């Protein structure tokens, strides 16, 4: 490429990736785990346990406790270290 002579111009790649294009086929283990958690109202129970720790109007809206626990479980089962 002869950039100094103006013959070729570098092409900039995509700035972001749409989240819709990141969805994979999923995994049977996590699909079953999600069904079990839903059947036992996991999100409702965890949110009830955490309700005193969340401010109604202060700060940025938080990640729902059930979603956060699922994120921790995926990290644990997939061996994703926090660092």
pLDDT for 17-68, tens place per residue? 776 666 667 788 988 999 999 999 999 999 999 888 877 777 777 888 999 9
d(CA 59, CA 64): 14
Rounded alpha-carbon distances, angstroms, from residue 21 to 16, 24, 53, 63 = 11, 8, 35, 23
Mean pLDDT of 1-22: 68
Extents of the domains making up the chain: 26-83
Which of 23 and 81 is assigned the larger pLDDT?
81
Could you tell me the pTM of the whole model?
Answer: 0.61
Report pLDDT for 43.
93
Structure tokens at 32: 């079953």
CA dist 41 and 65 (Å) reads 13
């Amino acid at each position: 490429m002869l950039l100094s002579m103006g013959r070729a111009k570098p092409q900039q790649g995509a700035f972001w990736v749409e989240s819709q294009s990141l969805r994979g086929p999923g995994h049977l283990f996590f699909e079953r785990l999600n069904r079990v958690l839903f059947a036992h109202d996991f999100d409702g129970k965890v949110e009830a346990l955490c309700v005193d720790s969340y401010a109604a109007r202060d700060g940025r809206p938080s990640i729902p406790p059930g979603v956060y626990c699922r994120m921790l479980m995926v990290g644990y089962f997939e061996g994703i270290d926090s660092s």
